[in-house]
Chain A
């Protein structure tokens, strides 16, 4: 793993460990409702300061915390147009299947490629450390998958081009 990536992921892990202290908090506005406060943002006293962690201009991570929920938004690096469309396709594919991931948001926050929403209920059902490990592992897997997809598409194009030109020889 590159040094800068390791530092970036360590910073995110430490921030999540500090931020993932969630508790049940019913809605102050509406009786008998329990909503993730980080999404509503109606009560400023329930929100913590958002943390923006940037690896470089293209890659960043925004962590917004509230008393009962946490939102993590990721911007994945896209070096060229091919990576751009592959990232868009892949993350949109995952977002459409958000129910399989439980903590994934169906629509990313504006300006980012993918978002997670973790509530106190998730923390009750799952271990905090494992959740953090999952998020960090997900980030690594996404980067690896995009790179592999790009390589596969280029390799495939090369093979097809070879077959096409063989007809002329």
Chain B
């Protein structure tokens, strides 16, 4: 599913097309993607060497406020460090975007695999931006001890109305996701999924995976948070992230998985509903079949009886048919004869004579004596 991929498929396709074009192309594309991400790709014929890529993405905000409308310096340095000769972040970026990159497409090698990898890495710049922010927060969070050794949770928002909390503790960092769904059916399907998730997570095979807990009530770490953040209908899903999950290359995967927890759960709920609907449709025919068989058996019986009666009455029907045909013919002949006689009688045809005849040459009507007058 496209929303789980780091690489933007549309952006990759556009960059590949520009890279492989034999002649310079005029390109000015706006691409809108899942998660309110907006790309603007511009490549001009007058300046065929450089391609300009602007990125607008919802930044991770802490405590409801954006961290900054512009990217921090170290993020820009990180972006510049991905492909030093090929990609350069422009300061300031274009208006309405957090980042504008100047790409030198000609420096991308022409051979298949290397060019594909490089273009894919460029097309995943948005995921790198957001992941960097969360990595920075996880590394540099100042844990403020509150009384009994409970660390204050940090509220983060990747998508609006979907905040999650990160609680840094001595041996681990806990990511807590309050779950909200629009429909009751979604809540029930998701609850079944969370229970399976806990079950699988506690098995021997997934000993190394983060410990996963689901509870219908807010966990103890969120005590003291505003009530609107703690009122949910889907419970709270928590992951305990330890040092093992953030070492080396695993950090990228862990951060990306945490950012996409809500998307993943919603995708599973939607797929389950579709699966149930498809299965019900398949079963409908099977359930109806016995009734149709009953009806067909009855129909077969009727058809058999009708066939039998047809065989017995065969002779009579034939006679009836013959009689019918003869009657028709006789009537037709009579009509023809009558018309012929009329034609013979009135050979001379005078125009409008029939009308005249009807009006003036009417035979007087003799009414039969049916009424009697009373004689006084």
Distance from A157 Cβ to chain B, minimum over Cβ atoms (Å): 4
Residues of A within 8 A of B212 (CB): 165
B268 contacts A by Cβ under 8 Å: yes
Those 6 A-B pairs whose CB atoms lie nearest each other, nearest first: A161-B197, A130-B294, A157-B196, A157-B193, A165-B209, A158-B196
List 15 additional A-B contacts (Cβ < 8 Å) besides A94-B287, A160-B196.
Answer: A81-B191, A82-B192, A89-B276, A93-B280, A125-B298, A127-B294, A138-B287, A156-B271, A157-B193, A157-B272, A160-B268, A165-B206, A167-B253, A168-B208, A169-B209
For window 72-99 of chain A, which residues contact chain B by CB distance below 8 Å? 81-82, 84-86, 89-90, 93-94, 97
| Bound: A102/B294 CA distance, A | 12
A24 contacts B by Cβ under 8 Å: no
| Bound: A115/B248 CA distance, A | 62
Are B210 and A168 in contact, CB atoms less than 8 angstroms apart?
A: yes
Q: Give the most central of A145, A153, A157: most B CB within 10 Å.
A: A157
Residues of B within 8 A of A149 (CB): 276, 279
Distance from B267 Cβ to chain A, minimum over Cβ atoms (Å): 9
In the complex, how many residue pairs between chain A and chain B have their CB atoms under 8 Å apart? 111
Contact A169 to B192, CB < 8 A, known contacts A90-B280, A160-B268: no
Contact A154 to B196, CB < 8 A, known contacts A82-B188, A126-B294, A165-B209: yes
Contact A137 to B290, CB < 8 A, known contacts A93-B280, A160-B268: yes
A152 contacts B by Cβ under 8 Å: yes
State how many residues of chain B have any CB contact under 8 Å with chain A: 42
Contact A168 to B193, CB < 8 A, known contacts A93-B280, A149-B279, A152-B279: no
Are A165 and B201 in contact, CB atoms less than 8 angstroms apart?
A: yes
Contact A100 to B200, CB < 8 A, known contacts A152-B275, A161-B193, A168-B210: no
| Bound: A121/B287 CA distance, A | 21
B6 contacts A by Cβ under 8 Å: no
Are B280 and A164 in contact, CB atoms less than 8 angstroms apart?
A: no
| Bound: A41/B279 CA distance, A | 38
Residues of A within 8 A of B245 (CB): 168
Nearest A residue to B187 via CB reads A81
